[in-house]
Amino acid sequence: MGDRFQDTFMDTAHELDAADKTDELCCVFQRDWTRRLYGESVVAQAPLSLWHLYKDSGDPWGPVTACVMTKIGERVSALVPGRWHRAQGWRGTPFGDGVTGHTVSVYAGQNGRVLVYDSAKDRNERVTSTTWPAYSAQYTGGVAIAVLREPSANP
């Protein structure tokens, strides 16, 4: 399944700064995890506004777009079994008033199960075992997915 992804998730969660709650925001956490996996020079190839899903970027799928832009991911319409993914979902019209979105990393198992690697909101980082249809049903405004390539040995 790729121990490097899991180990880096744990390292990212461990390095959260207790004085800075912004590092636990989903898109910020996922960008930091990505930086640790692929390296700062790779992550710097996409604007921070995409990684951190700033409304003024005009791209409601920013974290997925950033993965494609930096060539660490390829946009897909469905999860690929045996691979890691970055997903951005919206619980209503993207960027709409009162509408929330969420950025996660997902490992798709061979048997229809997925592991959703979530942000560390309130220092409660978590991994959820579920199915993609059950998890993604909350995103009534749509979901974008990028299948991720394996990181090189030296980011």
The boundaries of the domain holding residue 34 are: 3-148
> Percentage helix, strand, coil, to 5, in the chain?
35, 25, 40
- Domain assignment of residue 14, yes or no: yes
* CA 42 to centroid of chain Cα atoms: 16
- Domain assignment of residue 48, yes or no: yes
Cβ(66)–Cβ(54) below 8 Å = no
Question: What pLDDT score does 45 carry?
Answer: 98
Question: What pLDDT score does 1 carry?
Answer: 45
Cβ(142)–Cβ(94) below 8 Å = yes
Cβ(79)–Cβ(145) below 8 Å = yes
- Domain assignment of residue 54, yes or no: yes
- Domain assignment of residue 47, yes or no: yes
Q: Is the pTM of this model over 0.95?
A: no
- Beta-carbon contacts of 23 under 8 Å, excluding residues fewer than 6 positions away, are 16, 17, 29, 32, 120
Question: What pLDDT score does 8 carry?
Answer: 87
Number of domains in the chain: 1
- Domain assignment of residue 155, yes or no: no
In tens digits, the chain (155 residues) has pLDDT values of 458 888 888 888 878 766 666 666 788 889 999 999 999 999 999 999 999 999 999 999 999 999 999 999 999 999 999 999 999 999 999 999 999 999 999 999 988 999 999 875 565 567 889 999 999 999 999 999 999 999 875 55
- Domain assignment of residue 154, yes or no: no
- Domain assignment of residue 144, yes or no: yes
- Domain assignment of residue 64, yes or no: yes
Question: What pLDDT score does 127 carry?
Answer: 85
Question: What pLDDT score does 129 carry?
Answer: 92
